[in-house]
Structure 1
Amino acid sequence: MTATVVITPRGPFSLAASLRFLESFTPAGYRDASDGRVLRLAFPADDGRSTVSAEVRQAQSPEGTVRANVTVHSGNPGNDAAGTASAESDGTSGVRAQLARILSLDVDGSAFPRLAEGDPVVAELIAEYPGLRPVCFYSPYEAAAWAVIGHRIRMVQAAAIKARIAEHHGQRVTVAGESLHAFPTPLVLRGLSRVPGLPETKVERLRALADAALAGDLDAARLRAMPVDDALAHLRTLPGIGPFSAELILIRGAGHPDVFPRHERRLHASMAEAYGLGDPDASDACRLAGIGDHWAPYRSWVALLLRTRREEKAGPAARGRSVR
């Protein structure tokens, strides 16, 4: 049984742009199996216990309404039929909120185009990537798990390990005719004693992150409600989470729209190039953050566009580099 979730974007949004982004975003491991008009998703729900599958499409109407057929699965991993409950019977509000956050549709983007008026760099980015909003990790929990898995190894290697964890321990679902494996829920992940390709230290950290997620320490709404510095400090108390990873979790896991990444060197290099900065400004995080202040309240969004353009210029080889 399925239920339909309907979201009307506030401001420009393109699902097709989201699909193109996901295909080049190594952690997602996304491969489009359609004509580019449907987004297939499978992910652990924010409740920490169930898995959601979603078939997402966008109408061609002026409003660009997004519709998703969603199902909540509460059965055993590996079986996409057992224990399935409709999202309608369980209540769609939580699933709708999570899906909106994943696609950055929980943010009013109506004022985003106005950033172009005072910044030629932002104007160029908006024109180059019309309707592209950040496509987030499915949750802060999954973003944190990615940070631990990918620490000091190449992204393609980390993505392969994450995919194997999903295949062996996550829920298998069928979405629009395609079989997908979701990343395991915290309840499942906390019980893993060994993960091929990962040292015991990382496995221990993954189990601890699962416990933290179940305890509410990785709740997206809670993280976004906190002052940014407090949220980052809180995340850094989790095992294996340093300054770079904390920003990743808050921005790309919790979907915070207005955080300038102070520890993302590739973004800083892209900014230096775009704004014509030389040394020492090009490596001065405070100077760069000052430029980023003009992007408020969409600092995370502009940062994503800058990184996207840099990765596209660098080509596929850049996507195989280490997470940091």
Structure 2
Amino acid sequence: MPAASLTPAGPFSLAASIRFLEGFTPAAHDQDHDRVLRLAFPADDAHGVIGCALRQKEAAAGGPPAPVRAEFTVHPGPDATPAGAARAQIARIVSLDVDGSGFAAVGEHDPVVASLLAQYPGLRPVLFCSPYEAAAWAVIGHRVRMTQAAAVKARIARDHGRAVDVAGRRLHAFPTPEALRRLRDVPGLTDVKVARLHAIAEAALDGELDAGALRALPADEALRTLRRLPGIGPFSAELVLIRGAGHPDVFPVTESRLHRAMATEYGLDAAAAGDPAALAGIADGWRPFRSWVGLLLRARAQERGPAR
């Protein structure tokens, strides 16, 4: 089984990533309490399927984070996914493709960020496994409860995705684009949503959902490109760019839940919470990690629960 060592640049905790996934409904992540992160997903090349197990030893007190060991298998489609491409995708999923050594500096001039970094040491965004899978989730989850959407997505993976054995557990990857575009009647999805999933699959096969290409574009241009896809509006486009492609520095102007969390943390009134332009001005102080700070704000808001 191929293995790779992923060395974090800056703080990183795999244990924090696992804890985050336990509370992230779309991931449907069940913890085995063995400190192993198990994943199965379609490869970026839109043909292969990757199964991987990630482990990280505890770092010495005050020392740098330990490397993350990724053991993975590639199950090829028509063409085998190169091991180097699989390694790069795995690193992106846990945000280890980004140099986070400057993240702590953001908290030096922002007490809110400083408190978040102290509460969630080493937590970086854990992404959807690809922009393709993020876009498919956006279509599945449109105008339905998140738990219902997660159940539909899991059923699609179980019925139409590849089963992969990862570190003693059998996982079902979400279908590859080729498999997804062959689906017709999908329980829990309207015909319109099925048609939109077909369009997402076609876009992935045509290279329109390439993570590197999306991140290389100016964020506004990348968002415009994503909004051309059926079923991908402004909110979904931000989701795909931030949580699918892994862009580390985007402030979501459409995410009202994040805006309310910001208002709470920065002591703002309701009017300010409804003013994305003013909030974007605050978020400018988080550069070049605006996406990462947004994740920490969501994590804290989720722990606190709905405002009373």
TM-score with structure 2 setting the length: 0.96
Equivalenced residues, count: 303
Q: CA deviation at 1:228?
A: 0.4
Asked if structure 2 preserves the Cα contact closer than 8 Å seen for 1:72 and 1:84, the reply is no
- Residues 1-324 of structure 1: pairs in structure 2 closer than 5 A: 2-35=1-34, 37-61=35-59, 62-74=64-76, 91-314=82-305
SS at match of 1:117: coil
Partner of 1:320: none
Asked if structure 2 preserves the Cα contact closer than 8 Å seen for 1:144 and 1:209, the reply is yes
AA aligned to 1:226 is L
Asked if structure 2 preserves the Cα contact closer than 8 Å seen for 1:73 and 1:84, the reply is no
Cα distance between partner residues in 1 of 2:234 and 2:300: 24
SS at match of 1:98: helix
Asked if structure 1 preserves the Cα contact closer than 8 Å seen for 2:12 and 2:65, the reply is no
Asked if structure 2 preserves the Cα contact closer than 8 Å seen for 1:9 and 1:105, the reply is yes
Q: Deviations over 1:30-81 (max 9, x none)?
A: 001232x111010000010110000110133444101111000126xxxxxx
AA aligned to 1:110 is S
Cα distance between partner residues in 2 of 1:5 and 1:91: 13
Cα distance between partner residues in 2 of 1:274 and 1:252: 23
Q: CA deviation at 1:159?
A: 0.1
AA aligned to 2:240 is I
Cα distance between partner residues in 1 of 2:65 and 2:87: 18
Cα distance between partner residues in 1 of 2:204 and 2:118: 38
Q: CA deviation at 1:5?
A: 1.3
SS at match of 2:127: coil
Q: Deviations over 1:182-202 (max 9, x none)?
A: 000001001111111100000
SS at match of 1:280: helix
AA aligned to 2:284 is D
Q: Which runs of 5+ in 1 are unaligned?
A: 76-82, 316-324
TM-score with structure 1 setting the length: 0.91
Cα distance between partner residues in 1 of 2:53 and 2:272: 45
Runs (4+) of structure 1 exceeding 6 A deviation are none
Cα distance between partner residues in 1 of 2:240 and 2:303: 23
Cα distance between partner residues in 2 of 1:288 and 1:242: 21
Percent sequence identity over aligned pairs: 63
Cα distance between partner residues in 2 of 1:65 and 1:249: 28
Which of 277-286 and 58-67 deviates more?
Answer: 58-67
AA aligned to 1:57 is R
SS at match of 1:17: helix
